[in-house]
Amino acid sequence: MHLLVVAVLALLAALWQCGPLALWPVAPDLSAALAACLVVRTENHRLLLNLWVIGLIRDVVDPAATIVYAILFIVAAVGLIGADQRLRGLGLARVPVIAAILALGLRLAEIWWAGLGAETPQGLLLRTLLTAAVASGLFILMGSGRSSAPIRVRSVRTAVVE
């Protein structure tokens, strides 16, 4: 995906995250959902730059940021490149799994850095599950990218009847 498209999507996600969704106590993390889709869709050599752009835009847009997302997304990208390779057998199910890992990791880093606040374990779990659901929907809307599923589908005309 082109870097300009990633930047526009990241800007829209950050504006919506810091705008209407800021009032929700357990809003999904839209930046993490977008990042999870890019982990599955993007080649490894462009992934670090894409995730850095997502984090940088979130740092600029989020007025209440207590942590530097640009650095967190780079650290997450390094870890998620290997996780994506190991989760390849899950097919499309790896998108919500990666989104859940990323959302949970980002929120735990925020809690560690800035304190727990009003977050409950149930709220943390619900936020993680909502982020995974949003990432799945976003991935479907983006279409299949570099590697959507390990199964190759043949057309009916070329299928061999056994």
- Which carries the bigger pLDDT value, residue 131 or residue 70? 131
CATH fit for domain 3-142, picks 2.60.120, 3.30.70, 1.20.1540, 1.10.1760: 1.10.1760
Q: The pTM is what?
A: 0.80
Tell me: pLDDT of 15 over 80: yes
In whole angstroms, what is the distance from residue 49 CA to residue 37 CA?
14
pLDDT value at position 152? 41
Mean pLDDT of the chain: 82
The whole-number average pLDDT for the span 8-36 is 92
- pLDDT tens profile 45-54: 788 899 999 9
- pLDDT tens profile 110-158: 888 877 666 788 988 999 999 999 999 999 888 755 544 443 444 444 5
